[in-house]
Structure 1
Amino acid sequence: MDEKRLIKWLRQGKADAYRYLFTEYYDWLCNYVFKLCQDRSLSEDIVQDALVNLWNKREGLVISASLRNYLFKTCHNQFLQHVRSQKVEFDTLDKIRWDVISEATLEDNLFDFRMEKLHHLIDQLPPRCKEIFIQNKLEKKKYKEIAIDMGISIKTVENQMSKALQFLRANATSFML
């Protein structure tokens, strides 16, 4: 299929064009991302997210080079975004003796164990407390933004964050030391 026509049909929201795009490029893009991350499941997730984002932004789609190059760059950027989000995730608990985890001398399996335990602790937070913690630490939202999004006061956000950090500090010391 002609790329210009395909792009035009994508902008128009034609599902057949999207199916064709998916069929033609999905495996190729997955293989490319797999070479970057060495994780088949992650590569498929990244490519799927990139293609879904393309579909969601289809009306304003501007492709100056080839469609293949555009998809390549989109998946590459999606991968970089994932890497950045992992860095954010690793930086989330810097107040909870995070320096211990980030030491280069830690073995990978110990690091994985600690991260698993940390995620388990975060999952134990009460729902609202967990949501506020994730928005602040992982999504990097300010207290004011969280308060507006959730329709609560900034003071409530502060209190919930304080509770979350106290809980995590108290329970993380057993495996962080």
Structure 2
Amino acid sequence: MKDQKLIKKLRNGNPKAYKYLFSEYYDWLCNYIYNLCKDRSLAEDIVQDAIVGLWEKRNDVMITSSLKNYLFRTCHNQFLQHIRSQKIQFDTLDKIRWDVISEATLEDDLFEFRMDKLNNLINQLPPRCKEIFVQNKLEKKKYKEIAMDMNLSVKTVENQMSKALSFLKANATSFLL
């Protein structure tokens, strides 16, 4: 069937013309797009969209060259649009990924900064106060165990812990906010 005759039948809504168009060009166009993307299902989707699009816009489409060239150009352009949209998605995913990584890194840096400051404050405690604090908070010992290990009363351990916590609380507010 000649292109102009086929285009005229398509414009008139002739389903046989559409069927002919599909059977005549579908495989050729699918193979062309497949050679570009190496994805059979993507190639079929692009070609189907192009042919259905031609049918839906049959009254508005101006085909100045051959129908084969028109379909070839349409499928090629749809493939390029697909590639662009995938690139945008990858760029967006990369940006999100880097945002998360940098945020986590900043949080890690902030955590390390705070831990360094806290360790410096702990090192400023008097020796016995520091030892009691470390045993209680880092080694998870109870006041009674610490008192027995250090040969102190439980009340002394409580007082030393109270001093340590008061000192840390007074000096840690500047970097913990």
Per the TM alignment, residue 12 of structure 1 is displaced from its structure 2 partner at its CA by 1.6
2:58 aligned partner: 58
Q: Does 1:28 align with 2:28?
A: yes
SS for the counterpart of 2:64 is coil
Deviations 1:23-50 (A, max 9, x none): 0000000010011111111111110111
Deviations 1:43-85 (A, max 9, x none): 1111011111111111112111111111111110011011011
1:78 aligned partner: 78
**1:101-120 to 2 correspondences below 5 Å:** none
Q: Does 1:91 align with 2:91?
A: yes
- The structure carrying a bigger helix percent of its residues is 2
Measure, in 2, the Cα distance between the counterparts of 1:74 and 1:68.
10
Amino acid in structure 1 at the alignment position of 2:93: L
- TM-score w.r.t. length of structure 2: 0.53
Measure, in 1, the Cα distance between the counterparts of 2:24 and 2:95.
47
2:7 aligned partner: 7
Gaps of 5+ in 2: 105-177
Would you identify which runs of 4 or more consecutive aligned residues in structure 1 move more than 4 Å? none
Amino acid in structure 2 at the alignment position of 1:7: I
Amino acid in structure 1 at the alignment position of 2:17: A
2:112 aligned partner: none
Gaps of 5+ in 1: 99-164, 171-177
Provide the aligned C-alpha RMSD in A. 2.0
Which structure's relative contact order is higher, taking Cα pairs within 8 Å and 6+ residues apart?
1
- Identical aligned pairs, as a percentage? 68
